[in-house]
Structure 1
Amino acid sequence: MAGPSTAQRGERQKLESGPPRPPRNGRLPRPRTLIILLLALVLAGAGSVWVLYGSHWLRVEKVSATGMRVLTDRQVREAAEVPVGSPLISVDTDAIEARLREKLPRIATVDVVRSWPHGIGLKVTERTPVLIVEKGGKFVEVDAEGVRFATVSDAPKGIPTLELTVPRSAGLRRFGTDRLVREAVRVAGDIPADVARETRTVKVRSYDSISLELSGGRTVAWGSDEKGRAKARTLTALMKAAPGARHFDVSAPTAPASSGS
């Protein structure tokens, strides 16, 4: 009787030796190794927390402010109330921004940034006046959004004065003073640059009755703030066509007029 074949002997050896063992390099880490790794991670995390919050290496030591034109460095830093000596990571930058905008309305935007390892930077953008309103011998500055943000003793040079001569009527109740101020601001923004330099006063009598007083006693009837760019182009052309005129009307830009030459 023939003995088992070579293939049969191979199958018998596999069965007797049990399931295949995993390769040596694929073994799972021993429990002791896992414990060591976990301890290392915990210590590293605790060390990082201590460096950020507990050590003296990353604390606020310096506050700098940039971008101001009217405000001083001291005014901005005092209003910011940055907690010098505190961990840099814990400084509430949103709270600093809110304090600055509340205490210093002249600030339009401010970016509060951490400057590692010891600094806080305040990048300020101030509001720019486009009109001023005279009040009690002083002047209230109004920006391009119609925000009245500061009161100054001396009128800024080159900024037109806003005069609201609006009768107490249903129109005023309908549009409101703030709405009319915004209309005047938009008109001021549309005035051609060469005319803006000569503009002394922006007068508002109603929503659709806004006029300009220029140097030399010249006047411009602008109308409402609608079609501002078209009116600006028309006014520029009209002044070139009638350089000696003293009164210009661009309230209807397709039918302009000039007089008083």
Structure 2
Amino acid sequence: MAGPTTAERGKRQQRESGPPRPPRRGRLRRPRMVIILLLGVVLAAGGFGWLLYGSPYLRVRHVSVSGTRVLTGAQVREAADVSLGSPLISLDTDAIEARVRRKLPRIASVDVVRSWPRGIRLNVTERTPVLLVGNRGKFDEVDKEGVRFATVPEPPKAVPVLELTPIPSPGTRRFGTDRLIREAVRVAQDIPAAVARDTRTVKVRSYDSISLELTGGRGVMWGSGEMGRAKAAALTALMKAAPRARHFDVSSPTAPASSGS
């Protein structure tokens, strides 16, 4: 028996394989979609960049200041020298901070904050004087770090004046008076709050000979700047025990003494 002819075999294969498949349009659409997406990203990035740098809506219109006590907001703004109308995003906040601290030594720190959409906020912390040093009829304010940050014509209230009369010694010649001033600052910070209000003068003769002159002709021999907390506690207890005494010695806080009651 003869086998199927060539034509019959072709028809059979066509029936088994089914109708011809149309071309896949998805494969043709993918490159087009990628191009469209990339174009959208580029346009979005360009628009965002224009919004930050070219738009008139995100530019500096005002500078606010907080935290001042002695200085004024106008002084801080002048020192900051922020260019109004500049893009907010392009401002160098570190440079602004450096300018403020350089021009206004009274400021210990300043936090420069962008206040979107149109402002800059300067949060400043001023130095607080703990001691005054005489300077040709005026007074240099000294903070807790020993920094002389301002000269004032009149002494602020409740801030003691340093009276420096160093005894000639090898230590004084070697370190100068700066070390003695630092010790005086150290003592001034440790004076109890109730006593600090009445302290008029911190007298320094040497590293371990520091005394306090209080109102009412009273005095305190403090000694060195070491063991400040213990001396403060001893002085507080001593004044409670002998409220009429005029002289107190806490140079040795474990054996404090009072006299002149």
Within-5 A mapping of 1:204-219? 204-219=204-219
SS in 1 for 2:83: coil
Name 1:31's counterpart in structure 2: 31
Counterparts of 1:93 and 1:202 in 2: how far apart (Å)? 40
SS in 1 for 2:236: helix
Q: CA deviation at 1:194?
A: 1.1
Output the amino acid matched with 1:234: A
* Unaligned residue ranges in structure 1 (runs of 5+): 1-12, 18-23
Give CA deviations for 1:118-176 in whole Å, capped at 9, x if unaligned: 10111111111111112111111111111110001111011110111113432113333
Q: CA deviation at 1:82?
A: 0.5
Q: CA deviation at 1:29?
A: 6.1
* Unaligned residue ranges in structure 2 (runs of 5+): 1-12, 18-23
Name 2:135's counterpart in structure 1: 135
Within-5 A mapping of 1:3-152? 30-152=30-152
How many residue pairs were aligned? 240
Alignment pair present for 1:194 and 2:194:
yes
Q: Normalised by the size of structure 1, how large is the TM-score?
A: 0.87
Counterparts of 1:181 and 1:138 in 2: how far apart (Å)? 17
Name 1:4's counterpart in structure 2: none
Counterparts of 1:111 and 1:28 in 2: how far apart (Å)? 56
SS in 1 for 2:94: helix
Name 1:248's counterpart in structure 2: 248
Is residue 175–residue 207 contact of structure 1 (8 Å, CA) maintained in 2? no
SS in 2 for 1:71: coil
How well do the aligned residues superpose, as a CA RMSD in angstroms? 1.9
Counterparts of 2:29 and 2:82 in 1: how far apart (Å)? 49
Name 1:234's counterpart in structure 2: 234
Output the amino acid matched with 1:112: V
**4+ runs deviating over 4 angstroms:** 26-29
Name 1:6's counterpart in structure 2: none
Counterparts of 1:144 and 1:221 in 2: how far apart (Å)? 21
Counterparts of 2:76 and 2:99 in 1: how far apart (Å)? 10
Structure number, greater radius of gyration: 2
Is residue 81–residue 96 contact of structure 1 (8 Å, CA) maintained in 2? yes
Output the amino acid matched with 1:53: Y
SS in 1 for 2:253: coil
Counterparts of 1:76 and 1:192 in 2: how far apart (Å)? 33
Name 2:153's counterpart in structure 1: 153
